[in-house]
Amino acid sequence: MKIASFNVNSLRARLDIVQSWLDEHRPDVLALQETKVQDPDFPAAPFEELGYHVAFKGQKSYNGVAVFSLEPFEQIESGLDTEPFDHSRLIQVKVKGLTIVNTYVPQGHEPDSDKFRYKLDWYERLRQYFANQFTPDDPVIWLGDLNVAPTDIDVHDPKRLLGHVCFCPEVTEAFTRIKDWGFEDLLRKHHPESDLYTFWDYRGRNALENNRGWRIDHILGTPPVAKTSVDCTIDKEPRRQERPSDHTPIMVELDW
């Protein structure tokens, strides 16, 4: 079973890239973030034509999450379980007995901003969400654009970038509190090496060519899921396409 995550930074702008990638790789499940499309305008038909069931929750111009699955959904829910629910930042589905929680965590803007404090609060509410809804013995995958690079090897220049809202002690601690609840980082289970990134800033000249990236997109699993993981990989090819997202897909393969 292959499960992938991809921040598309506007689904309608990257429609061809996503369709082409799905057609080539045929993951069982693809979770998208930052779709930037309100529900009545969601382009579900092209993906249904590829054989995928589609679940989504969005808003105009910002945020937005979606999940495509080759198997029918057994359950679909959106939003945190505390206000503000932020339905367009979290969607939970169940497929083949596996719960997948797809999240687009707030970026945080600046360290001294209200948006950064909201990000930290969001992480804490997400931790409580997992504790309220599941136990670590349940088969759960948490994935998405988590807007955290947890360790020095997850950014290309840790000394210069330390203090950024996605690479600072406060956010790393918030992420780690959720991870310690009962998740394993599935990329790091199989690939502990450095220079593995999922995001290259548009503003960085030749950022992709020089691999000046960040690993801020993640796939984590509870122990029942992690023990079935065969590999976890990052595919840079979509980032090389014309008018790409600044992120690229990450995919785990499970013996599920």
Catalytic residues: 104, 145
CA dihedral 47, 51, 53, 57 (to 10 degrees): -10
Type of residue at 124: E
Q: How far is CA 158 from CA 150, 165, 214, in A?
A: 11, 13, 10
E-strand stretches of 53-121: 53-57, 65-69, 75-78, 90-95, 98-104
Contact status, residue 126 vs residue 103, Cβ threshold 8 Å: yes
Contact status, residue 198 vs residue 215, Cβ threshold 8 Å: yes
In the three-class reduction of DSSP (H, G, I as helix; E, B as strand; rest coil), residue 231 is classed as strand
Six token digits for residue 118:
């909201």
Tell me the backbone φ, ψ of residue 53, rounded to 5 degrees. Answer: -80, 145
Q: Is 86 left (phi over 0), alpha (psi -120 to 50) or beta?
A: left
CA 251 – CA 253 distance, rounded (Å):
7
